Structure 1
Amino acid sequence: MYSSIHRRAIRPLSVMIVAVLFVLLIPFQAFGASAWAPNTVYQKGTVVTYQNINYECTQTHTSLNGWEPPNTPALWKLSSAPVDTTPPTAPSSLQSPSQTTTTITLTWQASTDNIGVQQYRVYSGTTQVGTSANSPYQITGLSPNTLYSYTVRAVDAAGNVSTDSNTIQVRTAVPVVDNQPPTVPTNLRSTNTTNTTISLAWDASQDNIGVSQYEVIVNGQVAGTSAQTTFTITSLTASTTYAIAVRAVDEANNRSANSTIASITTKDTVAVAGKVLVGYWHNFNNGSTNIRLRDISPNFDVINVAFAEPVGDRATMAFTPYNATKEQFKADIAELRAKGKKVQISIGGAEGTVEMNTEADKQNFIRTMNAIIAEYNFDGLDIDLEGSSLALAGGDTNFRSPTTPKIVNLIAAVREILSTKSAAFQLTMAPETAYVQGGLVAYGGPWGAYLPVIHAFRDRMNFIHVQHYNTGSMTALDGRSYSQGTTDFQVAMAEMLLAGFPIGNNPNNMFPALREDQVAIGLPANQSAAGGGYTNPADIDKALKYITKGISYGGSYVLRKPTGYPNFRGVMTWSINWDKVANFGFSNPVRSSLNSLN
């Protein structure tokens, strides 16, 4: 091969200087790196550019709007970034708008930075007492009537620290002598019972200072506490009557008298229903096929009507049948119900962003969803929120007690809707993998954002079918990454919910397992139905046999429970319409596989 070494020449010094300057003046981008884009599968290690800065992918995923690299540190890190030595500006206008005997709340004006402020460090004197992603910040565990001194510093992603903010001195409140107990809680009632749980609600107590919590008393013993006027008692015995009361506790630990005792009986133990095949029916024409609701394949047990969507804002919901009159559609639902099918209304979808950031949003959602459910007599509610509909705000780190408004309000709204329905009314969910199993590797933003919702309804939810498609690869309990569309992926992702998993790989923060009959898997009906994740029916059959009976297919993933999970619930597909396009090439074989497991 002819070598270029024989043609090498000494370049003039001026040319070399110009070349060096040209390189230095290029905006910082990796040569050959493409710009970040939504709805794209990015593999771990891929480098992209965003706003002229390079980012390296740290977790294989499919990107979405709202998941831009600076917004999702769980997915992206700076890649060979230019050295950033510029510190943020100092936070300004530090003040304390409120204090209690044991807490002080601080607020400040945000700092600015050439790249971006990552966090704020709060100091008492020279001792750091906390960090916050933004203002305000509450300091707890303080002593009453005590003077404290505080400053705040800003820190950017490169670790540069600003100078101190202004210093303020703040005194905690003087304790008030309080010997007055709260009033007795009233109207204690059960909002739902299962064979092992009783959900309660009651009317709030009043106090001269403030009620701090309620104690729930079961058969004379305190079974738990709640800061709200609701509580669910778990781990009960079927067909058993319990004597239940509540009492209020104020900040000074004064207790009210017990409420009137309610005698509530748990339900009988019932056999788990057979394996279900769930399908989504399109209430729109997307080029798949137009099909009347009454004409769907009899293979399906549960039909999710897709979708009720927001109008005008992101909380006021609406639904109108697209290919039938309202009366025809209601007749179709009645006909399917007569055949033993469940017809549910699903909310959200890929394009229906549902967000309840305020109390008004929540009330609009409750009002309009109750109206839709009542008008069409739907059998259940399916939660299929995607994109920015659910995302954890900064500092929201406890799935058992979320603080993100849109998540807190969603839980409260669904609880209120369910409180007006019979026990036969179903609740199901269809999240994407990042929002559930993604919580194994990170908890923040979209990662793990569904976990507070699942946990809030773990005793009421009928089943969940995570979308095992449009997801890329995901990390499983064995620490290995598995690709969508494979038998290993179906088994590994299912067992994370069947066995439980450590959030953020922290063994001290476990997301508890769901019941076997609450877990199903979601798959596309054909290759046109999703951007990725299609699994052929033969591999689905292998996955189902391994999950339910422990019959190995010799794959890489090994079940933690070798005998399997016999009450595993079934399979969901997107969608009934795409299944018909495929001449029932999904529902026929999968129905047969499920029947063989009953």
Structure 2
Amino acid sequence: MLQPEVLASLKSTKNDSASAFIALPEKIVLGYWPNEPNTIGYKGGQATTLDLKDAPEGYNVVAVAFMKGAGVPGFTPHRWTPEAFRAQVGELNAQGRPVLLSLGGADAHIELALGQEEALAYEIIRLVETYGFDGFDIDLEQSAILAGDNPTVIPAALKMVKEHYASEGKHFIISLAPEFPHLREGASYQAYIQGLEGYYDLITPQYYNQGGDGVWIEEISRWITQNDEENKEDFLYYLTDSLIHGTRSYIQIPAQKLAIGLPANVDAANSGYVADPADVFNALQRLDAAGTPVRGIMSWAIDWDNSVNKDGVPYDWEFIKRYAHIGNDGDNGQHPTKPSAPASLRSPAQTENSITLSWNASTGDNPVVAYTLYRNNSDIGKTASLTYTDTGLNAGQQYAYRVVAIDSAGNVSDSSTSLFVSTPDPVVLTPAWVVNTWYVDGDVISYAGKNWRCVMQHTSNQYWTPDIAASLWEAV
């Protein structure tokens, strides 16, 4: 139990913007802000040092990374005094943006032992009172997840902290950012999720750095991996759906406590970058349509969003420009108007193995930049034109198509009306008549632009052509 006299000694006497506890927005775009000097990226790019206060407003939740160290971990700003750093937290708080302190990271070994619960709780409270943090994030990776008694000590300490601030009428935010394989039944983060049941506010699984790991989709008999670029939308949708429902071997997380974690660009993670933002928007739209809208998205990391690639070309805030509107504050709290649904979807041409589609242009507040085509509700491709030819089909089969529009701000339209189109039945080619060939009754051949049926068995010769040998052939 936390001692009142110790808590009193930690209490801040400041009354500034950082003193308020800021709630999580209804929809979030969470960005990690690394508390470290410039680093080199996975593809040779260079991160750009950024003041905390300069994190773009589209990131309406910011997690400061990381609290770490031997024994009971700690935190010290790498470039500022405590007062100067608190002022930056206060600037974000004044804009309505909560700032969390994140524990761990890929290179941190945290190892706590039973009996250190109160010491950790006191240290978290001290850091909250010193810097004005609004909550705490667990980002343990690799061996640190199960090191020592971490799965017991850390949840117990966070419960103490949350209950302490609840007694003061304040809501202390708790979030976790596990790599998604650790959210399977019996996997290493299950103890944290269960230990903080009823206490945690947000889970932002990392959908990156996992290569060929993924999810088996029984209904479509397919294993979809994180690095499957052609099926990125399906990966994002089905993994999230699995977590929401606690299916396909994953533990259950409520949709409104779940945000999809993505890297800002190819330098921010070894794998998992989403090249086409439509894959994200389409996956989110499918989750909405299923009645399970998630809380938002997360990015590693804000400084990488402002970095340069190996050739010195700026990434120019690509991530937040794409996704800011997902959060409440990305566009002054207003979501941009989505384009109109594509109209008059039609099929002007079909072959045995292809169907050509066309439709009328969509319009909206922002320019429409692409259209996504769906066959039988699966994404089959994108185009900037108003036509698309779907190939590799089977003859004599019906297919259902629909199309959605995407504008320059990443807004996705409602779907067009579905169109059902069939490919023609296969054409049976009639063999040509040839000499010196044995024909029997019923054989059909082609000759002189017509089809003929054999009515008497015989061996053909140059004089008994079908057009003159009426006793041997009849026109079909």
Provide the TM-score with structure 1 as the length reference.
0.45
Q: How many Å apart are 1:538 and its aligned residue?
A: 2.5
Partners of 2:242 and 2:248 within 8 A in 1 = no
Q: Which amino acid aligns with 1:429?
A: L
Do residues 387 (structure 1) and 113 (structure 2) align?
no
Q: How many Å apart are 1:272 and its aligned residue?
A: 9.7
Counterpart residue number, 1:210: none
Do residues 426 (structure 1) and 178 (structure 2) align?
no
User: Which whole-Å CA distance do the structure 2 matches of 1:530 and 1:565 have between them?
Assistant: 28
- Quickly say closer, same or farther: Cα 1:490–1:338, change in 2 above 3 A: same
Q: How many Å apart are 1:407 and its aligned residue?
A: 1.3
Counterpart residue number, 2:68: 309
Counterpart residue number, 1:541: 281
Q: How many Å apart are 1:535 and its aligned residue?
A: 0.7
Partners of 1:280 and 1:303 within 8 A in 2 = yes
Q: Please give the residue correspondences for 1:501-520 in structure 2 after superposition, counting only pairs within 5 Å.
A: 501=247, 503=249, 511=251, 513-520=252-259
- Name the SS for the 1:586 alignment partner: helix
Do residues 278 (structure 1) and 33 (structure 2) align?
no
Counterpart residue number, 2:125: 370
- Quickly say closer, same or farther: Cα 1:593–1:379, change in 2 above 3 A: closer
Partners of 2:296 and 2:326 within 8 A in 1 = no
User: Which whole-Å CA distance do the structure 1 matches of 2:108 and 2:120 have between them?
Assistant: 13
Counterpart residue number, 1:414: 158
CA RMSD of superposed structures (Å): 2.4
Q: How many Å apart are 1:281 and its aligned residue?
A: 0.2
Q: Which amino acid aligns with 1:489?
A: F
- Quickly say closer, same or farther: Cα 1:363–1:526, change in 2 above 3 A: same
Q: Which amino acid aligns with 1:589?
A: R
Partners of 2:24 and 2:61 within 8 A in 1 = no
Structure 1 stretch displaced more, 404-413 or 462-471: 404-413
Q: Which amino acid aligns with 1:501?
A: T
Q: How many Å apart are 1:325 and its aligned residue?
A: 2.2
User: Which whole-Å CA distance do the structure 1 matches of 2:248 and 2:263 have between them?
Assistant: 28
Q: How many Å apart are 1:273 and its aligned residue?
A: 4.8
User: Which whole-Å CA distance do the structure 1 matches of 2:324 and 2:212 have between them?
Assistant: 27
User: Which whole-Å CA distance do the structure 2 matches of 1:328 and 1:273 have between them?
Assistant: 26
Counterpart residue number, 2:447: none
- Name the SS for the 1:592 alignment partner: helix
Counterpart residue number, 2:16: none
Partners of 1:281 and 1:576 within 8 A in 2 = yes
Do residues 589 (structure 1) and 322 (structure 2) align?
yes
Structure with bigger gyration radius = 2
Partners of 2:215 and 2:248 within 8 A in 1 = no
User: Which whole-Å CA distance do the structure 1 matches of 2:198 and 2:248 have between them?
Assistant: 20
User: Which whole-Å CA distance do the structure 2 matches of 1:591 and 1:276 have between them?
Assistant: 9
Partners of 2:162 and 2:199 within 8 A in 1 = no
Q: Which amino acid aligns with 1:340?
A: G
Q: Please give the residue correspondences for 1:62-77 in structure 2 after superposition, counting only pairs within 5 Å.
A: none
Find 2:297's aligned residue among 554, 571, 593: 571
- Quickly say closer, same or farther: Cα 1:273–1:373, change in 2 above 3 A: closer
User: Which whole-Å CA distance do the structure 1 matches of 2:109 and 2:161 have between them?
Assistant: 19
Q: Please give the residue correspondences for 1:157-168 in structure 2 after superposition, counting only pairs within 5 Å.
A: none
Q: Deviations over 1:308-335 (max 9, x none)?
A: 112xx3x312211112222111111111
Q: Which amino acid aligns with 1:576?
A: I
Do residues 324 (structure 1) and 85 (structure 2) align?
no
- Name the SS for the 1:305 alignment partner: strand
Q: How many Å apart are 1:502 and its aligned residue?
A: 6.4
- Name the SS for the 1:420 alignment partner: helix
User: Which whole-Å CA distance do the structure 2 matches of 1:514 and 1:432 have between them?
Assistant: 14
Q: How many Å apart are 1:471 and its aligned residue?
A: 0.8
- Name the SS for the 1:476 alignment partner: strand
Aligned length: 284
Find 1:484's aligned residue among 205, 212, 226: 226
Q: How many Å apart are 1:357 and its aligned residue?
A: 2.6
User: Which whole-Å CA distance do the structure 2 matches of 1:406 and 1:379 have between them?
Assistant: 22
User: Which whole-Å CA distance do the structure 2 matches of 1:364 and 1:481 have between them?
Assistant: 45
Do residues 455 (structure 1) and 194 (structure 2) align?
yes
Q: Deviations over 1:95-135 (max 9, x none)?
A: xxxxxxxxxxxxxxxxxxxxxxxxxxxxxxxxxxxxxxxxx
Q: Please give the residue correspondences for 1:75-474 in structure 2 after superposition, counting only pairs within 5 Å.
A: 273-287=25-39, 288-310=47-69, 313=70, 315-359=71-115, 361-391=116-146, 405-422=149-166, 423-437=170-184, 439=185, 443=186, 448-474=187-213
Q: Deviations over 1:145-184 (max 9, x none)?
A: xxxxxxxxxxxxxxxxxxxxxxxxxxxxxxxxxxxxxxxx
Q: Deviations over 1:205-243 (max 9, x none)?
A: xxxxxxxxxxxxxxxxxxxxxxxxxxxxxxxxxxxxxxx
User: Which whole-Å CA distance do the structure 2 matches of 1:297 and 1:374 have between them?
Assistant: 25
Partners of 2:72 and 2:112 within 8 A in 1 = no
Partners of 2:263 and 2:272 within 8 A in 1 = yes
